[in-house]
Structure 1
Amino acid sequence: MSLLSALLPLLAVYRAGIAAILRQLGRRRRCPPPAAFPTQNGKVAIVTGGAKGIGYQTAKHLARLGMHVIIAGDIESEGQEAVRKIKEETLTGKGHCKRAGLEFLYCDLASMKSIRQFVQQFRAKNCPLHVLVNNAGVMLVPERKTEDGFEEHFGLNYLGHFLLTNLLLDTLKQSGTHSHNARIVTVSSATHYVGKLHLNDLQSRCSYSPHGAYAQSKLALVLFTYRLQHLLTANGSHVTANVVDPGVVNTELYKHVFWVVKVAIWMTAWLFLKTPEEGASTSIYAAVSPEMEGAGGCYLYNEERTKSADIAYDEELQRRLWTESCKLVGISDESSRVP
């Protein structure tokens, strides 16, 4: 791998990050108070990566609204601690609704076997599913593979959520109604604007760059969401799929950046970066806002619909990625019958 081919994705991602920071200055949104949205009593949500960061804030806010929230994560101790903290806060009167349920279920998104086991456990509960928040992810990790041999960014960030969503689709379809659609919310990022999708090398085997691999996984999530919404609409399903951009948020994801960047973040995060609570606001908006009822196929930033990368609207690329993803995770491609 040449020095230039390694530098180009790095420079593109940092350029996208700086642009996103400048864009969010003065436009940071805190989570709306629970009273801003209708109560969600009786509804069920799954939040991947809900034990910390943006996912934790999302899970907490949905629980405050009265939802039964299932936190899906791969570290049992963190998940149980998150459940304890959220329950403690909602039961002390700080929450909007005190009847919410909350639990942790193990799910390693880097393992197709673990995802299937998680879905089996969830189905055994015989409960509906009204909101799925595909939030978990890794960023700029060194080159390594998942349990199934996939490049980690692509395997965990994208393929894991692709499989999870497809395995839960029947339950989501059964739970949605004409007046209250079930909702799929997927977290991408501004780096998708500089992402390049290499259908012939989705695993980044030819030339690995953590920045390029991360941006590709985030672009794949946008393409996936648009194709998913197309299929849901074609089937007349009462389910919507949207993708959100949380902004540049101060979370543990930055542990793999250069030490110079770490120092800069440590010194300036309070001014330039969003807090996890602020970063969760658009996920929450997409999950429960009445304004998003029946609206799908949207890219949302700061609770507003905005334009994603031009390449994300390429319907042929969306279709080809979907078909290839079905092969990789071992599920049938029923979309082949939909134009």
Structure 2
Amino acid sequence: MWLLSVLVPLLRLYVCGIRVLLYQMFHRSFEMPVLPKQNERVAIVTGGTRGMGFETARHLASLGMHVIIAGNEREEGAAAVRRINKESSEGKAEFVFVDLTSLKSVRNFVQMFRDRALPLHVLINNAGTMLVPEKRTEDGFEYHFCLNYLSHFLLTNLLLDLLKKSGKNGRSSRIINMASATHYAGEINLEDLNKRTIYSSHAAYSQSKLALVLFTYYLQEQLTAGGFAVTVNAVDPGMVDTALYNNLWTLAQMLKKPVASVLFRTPAEGASISVYAAAASELDGVGGCYLYNGQKTQSSDLSYDLELQAQLWKRSCQLVGLQEA
């Protein structure tokens, strides 16, 4: 029983990975169109100090945005900001500390942002971790579940009123959730979201990415019903050569290196879908989509389960101490 509970998620995740690599072998990376200027718009990018997050922040700043990079590496954040501001003549970047493994830190970050009385037009929930050994956050949550999903759930909800105020018809505010093809392998056990019964890092990671997609669809339904000029989409960057793969087994790491150099996307290529979702004119007012390689794509059957979406939302509100809307 234990062995099956560990092996099945592992096999499912690696099958997803193989499918993505086969796709990338025969399809070129999405090429962004020319995007409109984003002057006077404000964006928050979590995990923007390196990899895809950095490339996303850099591109948005080049379009004229004021980009807040939210992360937990102060020196790395300062270096990222210096580089972006040196390159960008129209927009600007700054770093603000947040630890997404701490709900208190998320709340502190939101309060600091609110104190500045800035608008908020784009929120990119980019930060993530993958295949870490079993560990808990200071609040007692499973690490993937908290960092990849639950903290972003809280962050989004605490900033939602600002996004609603900042969005206008014809120029909506936008929320972008960083998904992954691994969500196709994901399952949600509402009675064991923290994987306390049997731990599998593969199952935990896949679950966190499925949770983000379920969250995306449910939130968009709420926003549409309320008539708000805010959209939320899930984006899938494909397999990208970033530090996210540092927790692979030693053998997998050895196999990954030659494959990555040929088949993986670069961080800039991976970031292109987030930037497109954040700034493309044709996506204004368009939400509730799963975007892969620049196209609207069908996500997993489970992700469209309306009852599961509602149940996960309710449970997430309970876990972070929010009143259910």
TM more than 0.5: yes
Following the alignment from structure 1 to structure 2, what is the Cα–Cα distance between the partners of residues 32 and 234? 31
Following the alignment from structure 2 to structure 1, what is the Cα–Cα distance between the partners of residues 23 and 82? 36
Secondary structure of the structure 2 residue equivalent to 1:243: strand
Following the alignment from structure 2 to structure 1, what is the Cα–Cα distance between the partners of residues 278 and 227? 20
Letter in 2 for 1:14: Y
**Structure 1 residue 30: Cα displacement:** 5.8
What TM-score does the superposition give when structure 2 sets the normalisation length?
0.98
Instruction: Tell me if structure 2 keeps the 8 A contact 1:30–1:277.
Output: no
1:104 to 92, 95, 100: 95
2:195 to 193, 199, 204: 204
Following the alignment from structure 2 to structure 1, what is the Cα–Cα distance between the partners of residues 114 and 284? 25
- Mapping 1:154-303, distance limit 5 Å: 154-303=145-294
Instruction: Tell me if structure 1 keeps the 8 A contact 2:131–2:201.
Output: yes
Letter in 2 for 1:55: G
Following the alignment from structure 1 to structure 2, what is the Cα–Cα distance between the partners of residues 141 and 112? 19
Partner of 1:52: 50
Letter in 2 for 1:313: Y
Does 1:323 find its partner at 2:314?
yes
Partner of 1:309: 300
Following the alignment from structure 1 to structure 2, what is the Cα–Cα distance between the partners of residues 67 and 326? 31
Cα deviation, 1:87-130, whole Å, max 9, x if unaligned, reads 1222xxxxxxx121210000111101000000011111111000
**Structure 1 residue 27: Cα displacement:** 2.4
Instruction: Tell me if structure 2 keeps the 8 A contact 1:173–1:238.
Output: yes
Secondary structure of the structure 1 residue equivalent to 2:95: strand
Partner of 1:63: 61
2:128 to 117, 131, 137: 137
Does 1:4 find its partner at 2:11?
no
Instruction: Tell me if structure 2 keeps the 8 A contact 1:28–1:274.
Output: no
Instruction: Tell me if structure 2 keeps the 8 A contact 1:31–1:277.
Output: no
Instruction: Tell me if structure 2 keeps the 8 A contact 1:72–1:104.
Output: yes
Following the alignment from structure 1 to structure 2, what is the Cα–Cα distance between the partners of residues 26 and 278? 16
Change (3 A) 1:87 1:31: farther
Following the alignment from structure 1 to structure 2, what is the Cα–Cα distance between the partners of residues 31 and 158? 28
Letter in 1 for 2:22: L
Identical amino acids, percent of aligned pairs: 56
Letter in 1 for 2:7: L
Does 1:43 find its partner at 2:34?
no
Following the alignment from structure 2 to structure 1, what is the Cα–Cα distance between the partners of residues 246 and 53? 17
Cα deviation, 1:271-313, whole Å, max 9, x if unaligned, reads 1101101111111111000111110000000110000000100
**Structure 1 residue 28: Cα displacement:** 3.4
Q: Return 5+ residue gaps in structure 1 as ranges.
A: 91-97, 335-339
Secondary structure of the structure 2 residue equivalent to 1:25: helix
Following the alignment from structure 1 to structure 2, what is the Cα–Cα distance between the partners of residues 85 and 26? 34
Following the alignment from structure 1 to structure 2, what is the Cα–Cα distance between the partners of residues 225 and 252? 25
Following the alignment from structure 1 to structure 2, what is the Cα–Cα distance between the partners of residues 271 and 253? 17
Secondary structure of the structure 2 residue equivalent to 1:203: coil
Secondary structure of the structure 1 residue equivalent to 2:26: coil
What TM-score does the superposition give when structure 1 sets the normalisation length?
0.94
Instruction: Tell me if structure 2 keeps the 8 A contact 1:47–1:132.
Output: yes
Q: Return 5+ residue gaps in structure 2 as ranges.
A: none
**Structure 1 residue 195: Cα displacement:** 0.2
Instruction: Tell me if structure 1 keeps the 8 A contact 2:65–2:91.
Output: yes
Following the alignment from structure 1 to structure 2, what is the Cα–Cα distance between the partners of residues 40 and 166? 24
Following the alignment from structure 1 to structure 2, what is the Cα–Cα distance between the partners of residues 204 and 272? 32
Q: CA RMSD in A?
A: 1.0
Partner of 2:70: 72
Letter in 2 for 1:13: L
**Structure 1 residue 267: Cα displacement:** 1.6
Partner of 1:337: none
Partner of 1:128: 119
Secondary structure of the structure 2 residue equivalent to 1:294: coil
* Equivalenced residues, count: 325
Secondary structure of the structure 1 residue equivalent to 2:270: helix
Cα deviation, 1:7-66, whole Å, max 9, x if unaligned, reads 111111011011111112232326637xx0000000000000000011010000000000
Letter in 1 for 2:232: A
Secondary structure of the structure 1 residue equivalent to 2:43: strand
Cα deviation, 1:217-273, whole Å, max 9, x if unaligned, reads 000000000000000011111100000000000000111111111112212212110
Partner of 1:146: 137
Letter in 2 for 1:242: N
